[in-house]
Chain A
Amino acid sequence: MLELKIGQEVDLEFGGKAKVTGIIGSGGQGVVYLVEFNGMQWALKWYDIDKIRKPEEFRKNIQNNIADGAPSNRFLWPKYLTKVLPDGSFGYLMELKPDSFDSFVDILNTYKLVIDPMTGRATKKTVRFSTLYAMVTSVINIVNAFRQLHRAGKSYQDLNDGGFFINVDTGAVLVCDCDNIAPEGSNFGIGGKPGYMAPEVVRGIAKPDVQTDKYSLAVVLFKLLFRGDPMEGEKVVKDVCLTEISELKHYGQNALFVYDPNDTSNRPVRGIHDNVIKFWRLYPDYIKNAFIRSFTEGITDPNKRIIENEWQSLFIRLRSEIIMCGCGRTNFTSMFEKPDDKTYRCPKCGMKFATIGFSNSDTRVPLYLGRKFYECEINPDCDDFLNVAGELVENKLRPGVLGIKNCSEKSWKVKMPDGIFYDISPGKGCPIWKELEIDFGGIIAKI
């Protein structure tokens, strides 16, 4: 390929020049350079044209994607194409990721290498989610981004751990490497990354599309939560050396989920897959069952794979079931004792948590100081899982009295101890008592 040099200028399709100022990284299809254009810094993805099977169609597809625009602001979408050089090579400009985002690869590694600009020496810096809330929010964000993409009629095709940046404090997500995204039914030659490809792609009998995206998405989510490979267990490790033939077998023809309920021959191995063994026991059954479905029936029947909006509601529920106990223990309700139907208790410190039930759901969610409710939980027609609609707070004038503050834009009707319903307007709140009822206007919550 024609590598670009520092200082080299590249003509953009609609005028202007981008000047190469550094190298950001390299991937299977080319190199990403840091460039300057219009007084701003951008990332330039520059293709190794020999690795693109049909360069003209590939370029045309990027052109179409630029014209269509990103499905949402969660994508680092192609912005400008460069002109094509005489040898056929070209690239495109996209925005740089903000510093506050870490790559998914670094999150899986649990550290990143920070290079001292003076000496070139690398030091390790820990990368981990600062809260469980942020982690589950990032899962919801990833799932939602692919839901938006698929609703726009396109598929990603090369979904893998290199495709995301995540803010570990907030759970915000940016999807990058958007250049293989293509309309449903089209493929411009990309196969995918080993370990993330759907079994039918590994076997050669299908090309990447929305259905194979769903499989790869399940792998990404499994890696994020359980920190291991869903197909690598005892059966695979026995092979010792992962040759092309064993990859075809273990990720294609005979792919077997490590927690397949009907076949225990590929269970995770202690000493190698400790993360998976540890985390699998923490999660509630409805999450485990979704992965079991994805990686058992979903291996052979793409229609059985979990659809993004199913994942989204599962993880919104999971987020609502996080308890941050006063003793410092944070976990899902599945890891708390349940002395009766309406109470959770911390097995470590014994603290008890009341719960509240919503009229649109069979499950009850725990209440504790700092607990947040999102728009999607109180409004049946709403998909907004990021804006806080209510929060459990302590009354500022009466210390020790806990209540729920209305952070939404609508008034609630709330049953007070005198048995009468009062209007609670935005910014106000109501104390928690044993027969509390809140009518959010559609959904009703009861202690």
Chain B
Amino acid sequence: MSNIENTVPDSLLDFDDDDPLGATSVSKKSLVIFFMIDTSASMRGKKMGQLNTVMEELIPEIRRVGEADTDVKIAVLTFSTDVKWMYSAPVSIEEFEWARLEASGVTSMGAAFEEISSRMSRNSFLNSPSLSFAPVIFLMTDGYPSDDYKKGLKTLQANSWYKFGLKAALGIGDEANDDVLAEFTGSPDTVVHAYTGSQLAQMIKIVAVTASQIGSKSMTLSDESNKELSEEDVFAAKQKLLGQQIQELVSQDENNTVSFDTGW
């Protein structure tokens, strides 16, 4: 009897933790979506009201975007005279609640670039122990920076999370400068502009949904050939894809789009 006991491998005796159904959630890759939002005085009134409402509605809509593979978190940085985080750390999209923003002060975009750069680090907001996707960074502004944005942008551009991240920007109204925004995203393709409230809602949705889906949804093949892809072929492929998809969506939206024989 005792003989048999002695031959039992240890693995069989750990029966407290051997239930084949006792799984925890599958290990996920984490993705942080950064929203950088201009809350300077010029945003006050309708613009801020619309933005608040769109964001409140958007969050539940993209709640399941990560499916089983990705743990999506949200971090919101606002900038006016000061820069301020909505919450002290990125919050899981399933628990995220939008805190309505108010507008006042000037447009310290450069300070915002420096702040986000300091947080995009393994020791700060991007401290998930598991694997991370490069973050999505979405900038929204209605004006020209009132500080030295180039200095802040230079700091940000040296951050490797920024380099590999997906960047997109939305200019709101006539004052926003698309050239500055393209400097931030690295390409004019990922900059969109909204002149009306309904465009604002549409553009925020297009950019946020498209950016958060790239990499986690089934993809179409990029070309017809059967040529082996090299590192250069895939470098920044997602940023290019984001630019293409945003441009397609935006151009459709412009020559809008209710066909003459539908909607009757």
Contacts and interface: CB of A to CB of B under 8 A. Distances in A.
Interface residues on B, range: 35 or more
Interface stretch (A221-229, A305-313, A405-413, A431-439): A221-229
Contact of B27 (A87, A120, A273, A330): A273
Interface residues on A, range: 35 or more
A85 B259 contact: yes
Interface stretch (B61-69, B79-87, B192-200): B61-69
Contact of A278 (B17, B228, B260): B17
B45 interface: no
Interface string B164-187: 100000000000000000000000
A191 B220 contact: yes
A109 B25 contact: yes
Given A29-B218, A85-B259, A204-B228, A242 B24 contact: no
A132 B22 CA distance: 10
A8 interface: yes
A204 B23 contact: no
B158 interface: no
Contacts of B248: 50
Contacts of B218: 27-29, 158, 160, 162, 190-193
Contacts of A135: 20-21
Given A240-B122, A244-B234, A347-B8, A132 B21 contact: yes
B20 A332 contact: yes
A275 interface: yes
Contacts of A275: 23-24, 26-27
B220 A242 contact: no
Interface string B200-228: 00000000010001011111111101111
Interface stretch (A72-80, A140-148, A335-343, A392-400): A335-343
Contacts of A248: 229, 231, 234
A219 to B, nearest CB: 11
Interface string A250-267: 001000000000000000
Contacts of A53: 220-221
Contacts of B225: 204
Most buried by A among B19, B22, B218, B252: B218
A272 B129 contact: yes
A242 B26 contact: no
A96 interface: no
Interface in B12-42: 12-13, 15, 17-27, 29
Contacts of A109: 25-26, 68
A22 interface: no
Contact of A242 (B8, B134, B217, B259): B134
Given A237-B130, A240-B132, A242-B134, A189 B221 contact: yes
B259 A108 contact: no
Interface in A279-305: 279, 281-282
A105 B64 CA distance: 10
Nearest to A130: B21
B69 A195 contact: yes
B125 interface: no
Nearest to A201: B221
Interface string B127-150: 001111110000000000000000
A418 interface: no
5 A-B pairs with the lowest CB-CB distances in the bound complex, closest first: A28-B217, A108-B68, A204-B229, A28-B218, A244-B234
